[in-house]
Structure 1
Amino acid sequence: MNNAIITITNLRLRTYIGFNPEEQAKRQDVVLNIEIHYPGEKACLNDTVDDALNYKVITKAVIEHVENGRFLLLEKLVSDVLDICTDHSWVNYAKVTIDKPHALRFADSVSLSLSWSKPASQISD
């Protein structure tokens, strides 16, 4: 089985993230990095759009959720984005890392990562 890996790199969005009053009053930048694995053999052999996972649809759903949401914790934001990325039945692994630039005074950013793997018993060849 050929495992196709979609990588979305440095997707820059703005959202309400944090629990301090100033964080809840103003949108902040977040930077998303997403990796999604799915069986890509059919797409590689057939060159047929319907055999490929549509990353544009996933990205649009992520953008809508992040930009229209309010989150107290980075953990919740990352978890929500991971849920969106693993919604399609073909996905067998996904990892989401979200950076919150300027969250700490002397650091470029703070990031949190979560990953998900489909149980081996649910993966079909």
Structure 2
Amino acid sequence: MITNLRLRTYIGLNLEEKNKKQDIVLNIEVHYPVEEACLNDNIEDALNYKVITKAIINHVENGRFLLLERLVSSVLRITVDHRWVTYAKVTIDKPHALRFADSVSLSLSWQK
């Protein structure tokens, strides 16, 4: 699980949101067969979270999104790109998007 990955991107509909990057917080759950990695302690048998995270960072920080839905679905696609992944869930929070609320968030999941 990748927990509380804090990034900045352009997200939103109004002019201010389109012209100023905003903070977002990503939580990503990934399942894959871990038996071999647990038994052998071999890096070749483990999913490389660094590769996935770097791809997500590049996509998010260099992208522009009108809708949170589009952002979450695109991050989910990157997360499940590896053939070993059997399940993934992406939750993205947009802090301070609503007055009197800590954040607005959306979760999407995928299962093989």
TM-score range, shorter chain: over 0.9
Query: What residue in structure 2 maps to residue 121 of structure 1?
Result: none
- RMSD value over aligned CA atoms? 0.4
Alignment of 1:9-24 (within 5 A): 9-24=3-18
CA distance in 2 between partners of 1:45 and 1:83 (Å) = 29
Q: Does 1:85 align with 2:79?
A: yes
Query: What residue in structure 1 maps to residue 44 of structure 2?
Result: 50
Query: What residue in structure 1 maps to residue 61 of structure 2?
Result: 67
TM-score (norm 2): 0.99
CA distance in 1 between partners of 2:104 and 2:13 (Å) = 15
* DSSP-derived class of the 1:39 partner: coil
Q: What fraction of aligned residue pairs are identical, expressed as a percent?
A: 79
Q: Does 1:28 align with 2:22?
A: yes
Displacement of 1:38 after TM fit? 0.1
Structure 1: 5+ residue stretches without partners: 1-6, 119-125
CA distance in 2 between partners of 1:9 and 1:47 (Å) = 23
Structure 2: 5+ residue stretches without partners: none
Larger-Rg structure: 1
